[in-house]
Amino acid sequence: MNYNIALLKGDGIGPEIVESAVRVLEAVGKKYGHTFNFTSYLIGGCAIDATGAPLPEETVAGCLASDSVLLGAVGGPKWDTLPGNLRPEKALLGIRAAMELYTNLRPAKLYSVLKDACPLRADLVEKGFDLLIVRELTGGIYFGERGYRQGKYGEEAYDTEAYSVYEIERIAVAAFDAAMKRNKKVTSIDKANVLESSRLWRKVVHQVAERYPEVTLSDMLVDNAAMQLVRNPAQFDVVVTSNMFGDILSDEASQITGSIGMLPSASLGATGRGLYEPIHGSAPDIAGKNLANPIATVLSAAMMLRYSFGLQKEADAIEQAIDKVLCEGYRTADIAAGAEAVGTVEMTDLIIKALED
């Protein structure tokens, strides 16, 4: 099979980690008889430098013409003083909206061999954990009405949280569908004791749950959820929540796995085309130094094979290769815990070797 993949390498360590994923995909293609065609487009700070805009029209067109998209990372101190509409991060919201990607899947898995890197007590993570956060991606406060106005105490800024029944229903369906392929348990996170939007969220999620009698549904307030993630992360299977709550909780979940450099993500819509990226940032302080952990980006490529291309066997092979390399004791600096570390290129080489064996 032939697949056309748009590469958005971005800024900082983005080009390095995307190159790692490309090399692994090429090894997969060679082993399983697939051809992956890669076309690079500008996004983020490098796009600002070249075109004056964080998300050029050419990039949007290229992504929409591709079978799927692999993204590195955007941003850095160089562009921090720009106005909000010109910041590199604005491109992320723009490309998600342009591709109509309303579902974000963020797995958070603690590998048993990395339990010592987890900041939680050993008795809490002895058996590891494996949860999936399903985050609504194109609605809520990040996309609501915003601005400045005169308020009770003078000038004030405001951002609006709003969700429709339609938006809640489709993300809930995505969560329950995912749960049916896992442990058939969904935890819906909201703030229904305070927010009207959360009360509607809870109502609609329960309506969707009626279509999935095999799945157990529970509700949890977001403040309690933040506490429970560090108290007993293994209690969760699939977590579904709003854009802002999902943004915060998924970063918390990533930290308790030991390193943000280990976690991939998939952003999906109604078509098979998706946007796949590691959840970490551009880490400009280590860019170009062969220090970045490529595993999250390589796992993002594996998610692309699974969710967009239906290549389950190939995705499993990548994940098993990473497991093998970690079990053999190899680590990048972020997960080395004082042991000798390998670089970005060396870790990629090891994954490819394990894949080819």
Q: Which residues are catalytic?
A: 142, 191, 223, 247, 251
Three-state secondary structure readout of 126-165: CCCEEEEEEEECCCHHHCCCEEEEEECCEEEEEECCCCCH
Q: What is the DSSP string of 16-35?
A: HHHHHHHHHHHHHHHHHT-E
Sign of CA pseudo-dihedral 52, 54, 59, 60: negative
DSSP lists the bridge partners of residue 158 as: 147
- Name the residue among 41, 31, 33 with its Cα closest to residue 7: 41
Q: Exposure string (b/e) for 137-164, b if CB count within 10 Å is 16 or more? A: bbbbbbbeeeeeeeeeeeeeeeeebebe
Q: How far is CA 299 from CA 21, 73, 110, in A?
A: 8, 15, 14
